[in-house]
Amino acid sequence: MKKIVIISMGDQTGITIKEQLENILDKKIYIEVYNVKQNVNFDINWDLVIFSSEIVEEMVLEKIKQGTKYLVVKRVIGHDYIDKLLNLKKGENILLVNDDKETCETVIKQLKSHGIDHVNYFPYYPGIKSYKKTNIAVTPGEIDIVPEEVKEVIDIKSRKMDITSLTEVLISLDDIDKHGEMLSSYFYRNMVNISKKYINTAHKSLKLKDMLTNILDNQKNGIIYTDLDNKVLVLNEEALKILNVKRHEIISKDIYEMFSGLKEDMAKINDQELLINKEEIKNNSIAVGNMIVINPADNIHKIDEDLRRKRKGEKLNAKYTFDNFIGNCEITAKNIKLAKKIAKSNSTVLIQGETGTGKEILAQAIHNESSRYEYPFVAVNFAALSENLIESELFGYEDGAFTGAKKGGKAGLFKKAHKGTIFLDEIGDASLHLQARLLRVLQEREITPVGSTEVVPVDIRIIAATNKNLLKEVEDKKFREDLYYRLNVMPIYSIPLRERKEDIKLMLKHYILKFEVKENIETFFSNDALRVLESYKWPGNIRELINIVEYLVSTKEEGIKVNICDLPRDILQSVNQIQDIDAKKYEEINKDIFSNIEEHLDLSEDELWVLNKIYKHKGIGRRALAVLASEENLNLGEGKLRRIMSNLKERKFIEINKGINGTKVLDKGLERVGI
Ligand SMILES: Nc1ncnc2c1ncn2[C@@H]1O[C@H](COP(=O)(O)OP(=O)(O)OP(=O)(O)O)[C@@H](O)[C@H]1O
């Protein structure tokens, strides 16, 4: 087990860093925390020493054993408390309390750079000779040293390591491969949370926009946020650099009109080859915009090379076995039994099933259960790679086969899988040209690298998977019939979640634990919420379930169970639809729950805006609301407002009277005002 020591000025900082690392490293690490005042013998063998700041480094560095790896980490303010700070009165005097002068100054600088610069900050730290007397103090976790006369303390909690420091720690521990995925999910969760806050308050706060830009500026990729019409909302410096534009030239413009190449997965812009990724940003499961991440291909090759170097000597292997296959309902058990039998043969397997049902996991488990388990398991995804890339990836190439080819050539994945298993994922997406080449491999069990005339024999087992109906594709002439029969020797289906309802609770339990929530399923979900989840159809299957657990983990209040109203809106809507179709059955079983789901559907941003305006301007009519909306640049015409108001009325949030009384917010609406 790796051993780390964290040294900080005060205890709390070290503990926060420790918790953060344990969260990502699955607690499979031994961490000790000390403050600089403790008299400790650091002259022993640590795998890594982490200093919480440069001052700490200066004070302690000479005490640690020569040759020990060490790092000074960069720490940033969490976004959770930003709302509170934004609500402080303009020009208010604020005491910034921290453990020393330097950390006070750093936090003030970070707060200002996050756009929280409408108040006046005055530092306070133990030993300061004189300081400004104020009513309000802000502190990153140092409540105990706040002077007595301060009336209100805003604790923004100890600052956490930023993503670059976390990456550095993982690289220093040689753990980046194992935990990289967790890191990106952790990072992504944070990004999504900030984005949600930004999008939720887009009408009100430009500060959050600044903050988002600032956070984005610390990323090494170009990142662009657009609204649903592809108009650019925010982008970082790196994106400006890559696209070679000025901010004012691109903000509010349609990104694809300016750079049509960005629609693709790869593009050449300003003579630079770019890799492009797109993510939908959702708020309560409703798409509100897009995040486009652009990266020069050179960078990717470099990272890829680095990873390859680190992986050298490590086998390409499959993680999953049937032991960690979750599910114990009858139909799952039967399927596992069949899969284990299939594993013992050497024949080609075709796994068919909806997206996210675990086809890759099944393929890995079959490989690990087979006699080839000690040899490589190599996965190729036909949907993720472009035709040109996939051909050279699969078959490899000769030295000088094409411009840009690596010197010395490259071994293809078929060759790398020799004696093991190759997993051809999303085979339904392979082009007809590739299908012809694959057929030859299946028939002859030999490959010809791109640009070569030499044939290389390979001993491999093939497992293919698809979420398409391959027979239908054959009928439509999109998939070769001969290849279909070559692949479909041992057919197996991965079963959708809705057909194995007993497994849903088990999966939820597993993923709650995996996301490190210190609660069990009973304290995490209310019974009602759990029953809704068990009745949901899960079109995205296990992958959707994982996303929803991740969403709930990051939005859940500690100590309060997730209730129906906390579930994403599309789950509630879809359960509602089931109720319509099979109303009688559902009414009988779940009368109490489903009858009031409508109540829990969240109000949209526009609905909330209207509700707040009616509350503020009692009696206000549609026309006046339309004027206010246009003043605030909102896309709310009279037609849209009529629909919103009648919906709010139907749901008893407002009352609409004729004549002088006009509109009024009702008790149920009052609960939502101010949100
Ligand atoms: N039996 C299982 N137990 C636990 N987790 C599972 C199980 N099956 C799948 N998962 C998880 O669900 C997610 C989706 O699985 P996987 O990628 O294998 O699905 P897939 O059917 O190959 O999806 P796609 O067709 O979209 O590629 C993964 O994160 C995987 O870890």
Please report, for the domain that includes residue 640, its CATH number.
Answer: 1.10.10
Tell me, using a 6 A CB cutoff, whether residue 484 lines ligand 1.
no
For residue 188, is pLDDT > 50? no
Helices (H), 569-637: 569-581, 583-594, 597-600, 605-616, 622-631
Residue 361 C-alpha to ligand 1 middle, in angstroms?
6
pTM above 0.80, yes or no: no
Q: Confidence class of residue 112 from pLDDT cuts 50, 70 and 90?
A: confident
Q: Which of 39-53, 178-192, 246-260, 440-454 has the highest mean pLDDT?
A: 246-260
- Among 555, 589, 623, where does a domain finish? 589
Residue 410: left if φ>0, alpha if ψ -120 to 50, beta else—which one? beta
Within this chain, do residues 356 and 282 fall inside the same structural domain, yes or no? no
- CATH number at 23 reads 3.40.50.10330
pLDDT for res 46: 85
Q: Domain residues for 615?
A: 605-670
| Alpha carbon of 532 to ligand 1 centroid (Å) | 22
Answer for the pair 116, 82: CB distance below 8 angstroms, yes or no. Answer: yes
514 and 641: one domain?
no
Mean pLDDT of the region 311-321: 60
- pLDDT of 210 > 70? The answer is no
Q: Chain centroid to CA 626: how far?
A: 37
Whether 357 is in the pocket of ligand 1, judged by its Cβ within 6 Å, is: yes
- For the cut 60, the answer to whether the pLDDT of residue 315 exceeds it is no
Q: Is residue 330 domain-shared with residue 458, that is, in the same domain?
A: yes
Angle at 52 between CA 46 and CA 56, to 5 degrees: 85
Given pLDDT bands bounded at 50, 70 and 90, which one contains residue 627? confident
Please state, in angstroms and as integers, the Cα–Cα distance from residue 3 to each residue in 32, 45, 78, following that order: 8, 8, 27
CA distance 333 to 495: 11
Question: What is the number of the ligand 1 atom nearest to the C-alpha of 357?
Answer: 21
- 265, 124: one domain: no
Q: Label residues 304-330 b or e (16+ Cβ within 10 Å = b).
A: eeeeeeeeeeeeeebebebeebebebe
Q: Is residue 489 part of a domain?
A: yes
DSSP state of 219: -
Interval 520-549 mean pLDDT: 88
Q: What is the pLDDT of residue 56?
A: 85
Q: What angle do CA 160, 165, 166 make, to 5 degrees?
A: 75
Tell me the per-residue pLDDT of 642-653, one tens digit each, with 9 for 90 and over. 888 888 888 888
Q: Is residue 83 part of a domain?
A: yes
Q: What is the radius of gyration, based on Cα positions, of the chain?
A: 29
Tell me: pLDDT of 293 over 50. Answer: yes
Confidence of residue 133 (pLDDT cuts 50, 70, 90): very high
Whether residue 452 sits in one domain with residue 327: yes
Cβ-defined contacts of 542-546 (< 8 Å, 24+):
542/356, 542/357, 542/358, 542/497, 542/507, 543/355, 543/356, 544/356, 545/497, 545/504, 545/507, 545/508, 545/511, 546/511
| Residue 225 domain-assigned (yes or no) | yes
The protein residue whose alpha carbon is closest to atom 6 in ligand 1 is: 358
Burial class (CB in 10 A: 0-12, 13-18, 19+), 345: middle
CATH number, domain of 515, equals 1.10.8.60
Q: Is the CB of 325 inside a 6 Å radius of any atom of ligand 1?
A: yes
pLDDT of residue 244: 92
Does 472 lie in the same domain as 523? Answer: no
Which amino acid is residue 637, in one-letter code? G
pLDDT at position 184 is: 46
Non-local (6+) Cβ contacts of 260 within 8 A are none
Report the DSSP beta bridge partners of residue 232.
Answer: 226
Query: Residue 277: is its pLDDT beyond 70?
Result: yes
Q: Give the mutation target among 321, 324, 354, 360 for probing the ligand 1 site: most ligand atoms within 8 A of CB.
A: 360
Residue 204 has pLDDT above 80, yes or no: no
604: which DSSP letter? Answer: P
Residue 399 has what pLDDT? 58
Find the 63 Cα to ligand 1 centroid distance in Å.
48
Where does the pLDDT of residue 586 fall: very low under 50, low under 70, confident under 90, or very high at 90 and above? very low
Q: What is the mean pLDDT of residues 248-270?
A: 86
Last residue of a domain, one of 171, 196, 214: 171
Name the band, by pLDDT with cuts 50, 70 and 90, for residue 36. confident
pLDDT at position 213 over 60: no
Highest averaged pLDDT of the listed ranges 17-31, 175-189, 325-339: 325-339
Q: Looking at 112, 141, 171, which one is the last position of a domain?
A: 171
Residue 599, domain member (yes or no): no
Share of the chain above pLDDT 90, in %: 22
Q: What is the mean pLDDT of the chain?
A: 79
Domain identity same for 476 and 554: no
- 535 and 658 both lie in a single domain: no
Q: Sorting pLDDT into bands at 50, 70 and 90, what band is 316?
A: low
Distance CA 277, CA 256 (A): 14
Nearest residue to 314 (alpha-carbon basis) of 176, 497, 436: 176
For residue 313, pLDDT beyond 70: no
Mean pLDDT of 574-586: 49
User: What is the spatial distance between Cα 383 and Cα 360, in angstroms, rounded to a whole number?
Assistant: 14
Confidence of residue 670 (pLDDT cuts 50, 70, 90): confident
8 Å CB contact between 493 and 353: yes
Q: What is the whole-number distance in angstroms between the Cα of residue 362 and the centre of ligand 1?
A: 8
Nearest to 223 by CA among 271, 290, 282, 299: 290
- 3-state SS string for 199-217: HHCCCCCHHHHHHHHHHHH
| Whether residue 372 is found in the same domain as residue 241 | no
Same domain, 361 and 475: yes
What pLDDT is stored for residue 258 in this prediction? 93
- Candidate from 81-85, 177-181, 330-334, 439-443 with smallest mean pLDDT: 177-181
Is a pLDDT exceeding 80 seen at residue 600? no
Domain annotation covers residue 213: yes
Tokens of 338: 């069949």
Whether residue 70 is predicted with pLDDT greater than 80 in this model: the reply is: yes
Q: Is 546 in the pocket of ligand 1 (CB under 6 A)?
A: yes
- Burial label for 493, CB within 10 Å (0-12, 13-18, 19+), is middle
Question: Is 471 inside a domain boundary?
Answer: yes
Residue 657 pLDDT exceeds 90: no
Domain of 130, CATH number, reads 3.40.50
ipTM of the complex: 0.96
Is the pLDDT confidence value at 53 over 90?
Answer: no
Which residue is closest in CA terms to ligand 1's atom 28? 543
Distance of CA 663 to the CA centre of its chain: 42
More confident residue, 225 or 397: 225
Is the pLDDT at 425 greater than 80, yes or no? yes
Cα separation of the two ends of the chain: 48
Asked if 418 and 409 count as a contact pair (C-beta separation under 8 A), the reply is no
- 327 Cβ closer than 6 Å to some ligand 1 atom: yes
pLDDT band at 303 (very low <50, low <70, confident <90, very high): very low
Instruction: Determine if ligand 1 sits within 6 Å of the CB of residue 467.
Output: yes
Count structural domains, the chain: 6
Q: Ligand 1 pocket, 409 CB below 6 A?
A: no
CATH of the domain at 182: 3.30.450.20
Task: Give yes or no for residue 48 having a pLDDT over 50.
Answer: yes
| Same structural domain, 464 and 367 | yes
Ligand 1 in contact with 365 (CB < 6 A)? no
Interval 602-608 mean pLDDT: 80
Indicate if the pLDDT at residue 540 is higher than 70.
Answer: yes
- Name the more confident of 37 and 428: 428
Distances (CA, A) of 7 to 11, 159, 209: 9, 15, 34
The reply to whether ligand 1 has any atom less than 6 angstroms from the CB of 359 is yes
Whether 656 and 583 map to the same domain: the answer is: no
Residue 355 has pLDDT above 50, yes or no: yes
Is residue 599 predicted with pLDDT exceeding 60? no
Q: How far apart are alpha carbons 7 and 72 in whole angstroms? A: 10
> Which range scores top for mean pLDDT: 74-83, 125-134, 184-193, 397-406?
125-134
Helix (H, G, I), strand (E, B) or coil at 49: strand
Sign of the alpha-carbon torsion through 552, 553, 554, 556: positive
Nearest CA to ligand 1 atom 5: 326
Number of C-beta neighbours around residue 140 at 10 A: 28
Asked whether 116 and 96 are in contact (CB, 8 A), the reply is no
| Average confidence (pLDDT) over 308-326 | 63
3-state secondary structure 476-521: CCCCCHHHHHHHCCEEEECCCHHHCCHHHHHHHHHHHHHCCCCCCH
Helices (H), 399-557: 413-416, 432-444, 470-475, 481-487, 502-514, 521-524, 527-535, 541-555
Q: What is the pLDDT of residues 138-182, one digit of tens each?
A: 998 888 899 999 999 998 887 777 766 776 777 677 665 455 444
| Predicted confidence (pLDDT) at residue 207 exceeds the cutoff of 80 | no
> Would 316 be classed as within a structural domain?
no
Provide the pLDDT for residue 169. Answer: 77
Answer yes or no: is pLDDT of 581 > 50. Answer: no
Q: What is the 424 CA–ligand 1 centroid distance (Å)?
A: 15
What secondary structure letter does DSSP report for 8?
Answer: E
Instruction: Quote the pLDDT of residue 343.
Output: 92
pLDDT (mean) for 384-402: 69
- Phi and psi, residue 132, nearest 5°: -75, 130
Lowest mean per-residue pLDDT among 19-23, 297-301, 570-574, 600-604: 297-301
Is 600 domain-assigned?
no
Is-contact 486 443, C-beta < 8 A? yes
